[in-house]
Structure 1
Amino acid sequence: MTPGENTLEARMHSFRAKAKDSIFGQDAAIDALAAELSRRLETRSDHRPLAVLLLAGPDRSGTKADLVEVLADALDVPIHQYDLSPPWGEEDALIFGLNPGVPAWLSLQQSLTDHPRAIVALKAVEQAHPTVLSRLQAAWTSDRLVEPSGTEVATTGAIFVLTTELGQGAVGQLARQETDPDRLHVAAVKLLADAGFPIPVLRSIDAVIGLKSHTTGELIREYCRDLAEQARSQGLELADGGIDARIVTDVLEPAIGAYAKGEKRLRDRLDADLVRAKAEGAETVRLVLGDDGILVVPVDRSVQKEPQSSPGSAGQEGSGDE
């Protein structure tokens, strides 16, 4: 960033723009996160971390991790990331540097010593070992993290971003209905407490940022837009009705699919087939579901030969209009 762009307002503007461009349907959560951080950073305290925030609600396709990554990029700070879910032992030892088989620089204490301005991302915080959670909570309510050995490190430059898997559906529905961030925070705290989230931790955080649930229709429209954009990125247009409905149901089942975990591999293969179709003279294509994935079928009259995406693609062509 240039000096004129190196302001909190500019960085938050960059975060909002990049997050909304890359993360579907969470504009309200992005705005709430940016507003809360702006408020905390402008009134920073020398007696506690810059902010302690909890991301709650559904986590479709790693939305929470994506938010943290975009935020760190906008603030130009590193991410110290730890998964606190069981089995307990390895990660708990790692976060406090108690595992002799792991480099000391991976511990939170050393990470904050080397990079005091950072985001500390704690996944599944509600599942953390009670001792670890107690030490972390002490760090959130004071200006330092105290290790079991007694070593202390300042936390006043850190932003703690916690994530939880509890109450995803309830918080997701709440975020669809409640537009005011403060009221959402209060209601989400109650929902999470009822779901078993440690109440002392809820009292020590600054804000709950609720991610909303999406309807099946919203997911379908977004996935179709993604496919159309992927085709356009290779210089191709989709024909009207050019996406086989079975592609959508297979990918979104149950998200709503058979391909949900392998979606990135399928999309990478689709890119190769789109490039091949373009090289062979196609301008407009249809996407149909084959036995091994998504097939690209040209519909241009000028194209005489179909791409050799997979044996039997011609047999699948007829079903693409269903």
Structure 2
Amino acid sequence: MLKSSTNSHLSRAMPLIILACLGLLLLQVILIFVVFAPYCQKILIQIYLLLSWARPSYLPFSALFLSMAIWGAIFDLWASHLSQKGLFLRNGFITSILRKFTNREKLDEMLSYQQREARLDAVEFSAILRAKIIGQDNVCDTLSHQLRRRLTLRSPKRPIAVFLFAGPKGTGKKSLAAQLSAQTLRPLFQFDLSQISGEQTTNLLFNSHHLDGLAAFLLNNQNAIVLLNEIQNVPSDILKRFLTAWNEGYLLDNATGNKILLNDALFILTANLEPSNQNQEMQTLEQAGLPPELLARTDSVFTFRPLDPQTLAQITALEVEKLIASYGLQVEKESVDPELIFQTLSKEPHFDNTSSPRDLARLVEDMIGESLILARQTGARKIRLEQGTEGIIATASFRGDF
């Protein structure tokens, strides 16, 4: 909110700033002429005679420009008042000109964006997330309320929040971060810390000359969601840089030495927790290798529970639908039956509550991939999934094509 208020005050003062700049420019020109007058007196006289005919119009033009500056200030104040009420000025000839001078459209967009986040309905937002992320209702509920609180009470010197998503693989940690990006209209930056390679990683994270790196992304998207995967693998020197950045509220650019503000950024860290014994009990955060200083700096920890086989089959069915769509086909009944997936995969030795839906979807692809290709070659638009002797089979369906 401090950022919005500062920009609003700057915009209101813009006409006066323009007048001040013009006055300083005029003073500079006069000083130059005074200094070089002995050398160009004849030229000055000719310029004076040339412009003397316009002398009667000086006062009217000055009055016109002054009235435009005053009207610009009034317009901007008026537009800000309307925007706070959710109203916007109608576009017209005068308003379109004044918008160019006051940058009104950008301010309206920014104000509307911040007002939308400040009015976030946690219950409604949670329902949207629960519809997208299956099996993690408690995480979605808690996250929605936490996010609403953080967006309302944001600090100008710290990121909006640093959240930790912890849980087994394939439980929806990355998917939830992607949904947060989609639902809040914030750009998403992902970095996998499991693929660390020394100085190259440092440059990708903290050097803005690497256009596909974090620093360059934050320069252009200060309201980004930054997803750091497998934070348990982060080297101590990089972790120290992040801890400093989160405490100070800015990231130091290795390329320029400039500060990249983080007060409008949201950081999400993921940590994979594996079974610690034969009873499939999950590791604690400390057992997973997460440093105590990282846990102390994290604003909230969200624990993703392992998925039961039925939920896992339901998510896998959605992944299979995406797989079939990637072949340019549709399922005849418009959706894949999770019960069919469960009955088939429950016979597979790889199917348990530690399996990843993507891995299981690839297992189904191995069963039906060749059938999908044949269906495409025969001109079918839809396929029918059935239980076969060796797993799931896909049969071309021409029902409803004609």
Aligned residue for 1:85?
194
Cα deviation code 1:87-145 (max 9, x no counterpart): 422333211128xxxx6222222211111011011111121121111001111112111
TM-score by length of 2: 0.55
1:74 aligns with 2:183: yes
1:86-101 counterparts in 2 under 5 A?
86-89=195-198, 90-97=200-207
Larger helix fraction of residues: 2
Cα distance change on mapping 1:248 and 1:227 into 2, 3 Å: farther
2-structure distance, mates of 1:71, 1:280: 33
1:39 aligns with 2:149: yes
Aligned residue for 1:289?
388
Residues 86 and 128 in structure 1, CA contact (< 8 A), matched pair in contact too: no
- 2:272 aligned partner, one-letter code: E
Q: Which structure has the greater CA radius of gyration?
A: 2
Aligned residue for 1:134?
240
2-structure distance, mates of 1:95, 1:60: 26
1:157 aligns with 2:268: no
1-structure distance, mates of 2:140, 2:297: 22
Higher RCO, 1 vs 2 (CA within 8 Å, ≥6 residues apart)? 1
Structure 1: state its 5+ residue gaps: 175-187, 298-305, 309-322
1:29 aligns with 2:139: yes
How many pairs were matched up? 274
SS at match of 2:272: coil
Aligned residue for 2:59?
none
Aligned residue for 2:217?
111
- 1:245 aligned partner, one-letter code: Q
Cα deviation code 1:72-91 (max 9, x no counterpart): 11111101211112442233
Aligned residue for 2:294?
201
Aligned residue for 2:348?
250
- RMSD over aligned Cα, in angstroms? 4.5
Cα distance change on mapping 1:124 and 1:215 into 2, 3 Å: same
2-structure distance, mates of 1:88, 1:68: 25
Aligned residue for 1:262?
362
Residues 189 and 225 in structure 2, CA contact (< 8 A), matched pair in contact too: yes
Residues 85 and 127 in structure 1, CA contact (< 8 A), matched pair in contact too: yes
SS at match of 2:156: coil
Cα distance change on mapping 1:250 and 1:276 into 2, 3 Å: farther
* Deviation of 1:32 (Å): 1.2
Residues 344 and 392 in structure 2, CA contact (< 8 A), matched pair in contact too: no
Cα distance change on mapping 1:125 and 1:286 into 2, 3 Å: closer
Percent identity over the alignment is: 23
Larger strand fraction of residues: 1
1:124 aligns with 2:230: yes
Structure 2: state its 5+ residue gaps: 1-108
1-structure distance, mates of 2:124, 2:372: 29
Residues 166 and 197 in structure 1, CA contact (< 8 A), matched pair in contact too: no
* Deviation of 1:287 (Å): 1.2
